[in-house]
């Protein structure tokens, strides 16, 4: 399962990598494309041109420093909280499932779900705007009622759909 062309819901290309560490331990990594320099430059230039235009009319230098600050803070927040670099699913037999997403700034959020809490892993469908997307999710057991489902945890939170393009 290597290097087929996959796209996510918004049409951006993503790649899937499978590693098999042992017969009962597998890791699946989905990576998004990195931050593109062209987009960054376009955004920064447009914000600064706007700031210069406002400065031209108001002659207030605080506008310029404000624009610089806003751009910097916005970029930092974007790469720290919004831009997901890769997400991985580590399946360890008879121990559990570990879901981790790592952001462009290096921050990693990891959740480990024990085997005793997992009821099942299913493919669920949802309606998103004009299309139906399918996503993997884990059904968790309720501690008091072993048969009921307590929560549904979608895997790969950055919404990815595997739709094959004819290569």
Partner 1 sequence: MVLKIFFPQCCNRAESGLLVGRWISGHDSAVVLAVIHYPFIPGQVKQYIQQMQAQSGVELTVLGSWSLPKEGQESMESFLRDLSTIFPQQRWLQVSRQMGKMGFICEVVNRNQNGQETQQEAKKQNEEEEEKVIFVHYEQRKVMLSQLHPTESGDPDPNTEPSSELKQVFQTVARSQPLFFLDRYDDGPLKSTHWQSEGREASIIVELLKQASVPLCMLISWLLALWTWICNIRIFSLYPLRFLSSKLSTCVQISYRTEHMRTLSSPKPAAGHKQFMRKGNILVSFLVDVGLGILLMSWLYRDDHIATLANMLMPAADHVAKELEELLQWLMGAPAGLKMNRALDQVLGRFFLYHIHLWISYIHLMSPFIEGILWYGGLSVCLGLTFALSLLSDMVALLTFHIYCFYVYGARLYCLKIYGLSSLWRLFRGKKWNVLRQRVDSCSYDVDQLFIGTLLFTILLFLLPTTALYYLVFTLLRLVVVLFQGILHLSVDFINSFPLFAMGLRIFRPYRLAEGVKFQVLCDEPGTALHLLMEINPLKCSTVVQTYRTPTYSCYPRDSWAALVKKLFVGELIYPWRHKSTKAD
The residue among 28 and 48 lying less far from partner 1, judged by its C-beta, is 28
CB of 25 to partner 1, least distance (A): 6
The residue among 112 and 134 lying less far from partner 1, judged by its C-beta, is 112
**Residue 122 carries which DSSP code?**
E
Query: Site for partner 1 (CB under 8 A): which residue of 5, 12, 18, 21?
Result: 21
The residue among 17 and 27 lying less far from partner 1, judged by its C-beta, is 27
> What are the backbone dihedrals phi and psi of residue 113, each rounded to the nearest 5 degrees, phi first?
-115, 125
The residue among 33 and 93 lying less far from partner 1, judged by its C-beta, is 93
Question: What are the b/e assignments for 97-126, b being 16+ CB within 10 Å?
Answer: bebbbbbbeeeeeeeeeeeebebeeeeeee
77 binds partner 1 (CB under 8 A): no
Among the listed residues 12, 19, 17, the one whose alpha carbon sits nearest the alpha carbon of residue 29: 17
At 15, list the tokens.
């790649």
Give the x-and-dash track for 80-99 against partner 1 (CB under 8 A): ----------x-xxxx--x-
Exposed / middle / buried, residue 130 (Cβ in 10 Å: 0-12, 13-18, 19+): exposed
Give the x-and-dash track for 104-143 against partner 1 (CB under 8 A): ------xxx-xxxx--------------------------
At 129, list the tokens.
């705007």
At 48, list the tokens.
């600064």
Residue ranges that bind partner 1, judged by CB under 8 A: 21-25, 27, 90, 92-95, 98, 100, 110-112, 114-117
């Amino acid at each position: 399962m290597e290097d087929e062309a996959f796209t996510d819901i918004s049409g951006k290309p993503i790649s899937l990598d499978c590693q098999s560490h042992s017969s009962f331990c597998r890791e699946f990594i989905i990576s998004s494309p990195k931050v593109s320099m062209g987009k960054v430059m376009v955004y920064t230039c447009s914000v600064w041109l706007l700031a210069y235009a406002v400065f031209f009319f108001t002659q207030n230098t605080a506008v310029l420093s404000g624009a610089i600050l806003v751009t910097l803070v916005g970029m930092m927040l974007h790469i720290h909280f919004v831009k997901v670099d890769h997400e991985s699913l580590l399946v360890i037999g008879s121990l559990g499932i570990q879901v981790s997403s790592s952001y462009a700034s290096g921050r990693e959020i990891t959740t480990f779900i024990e085997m005793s809490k997992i009821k099942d892993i299913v493919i669920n469908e949802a309606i998103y705007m004009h299309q139906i997307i399918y996503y993997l999710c884990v059904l968790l057991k309720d501690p008091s009622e072993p048969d009921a489902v307590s929560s549904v945890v979608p895997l790969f939170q950055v919404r990815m759909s595997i739709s094959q393009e004819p290569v």
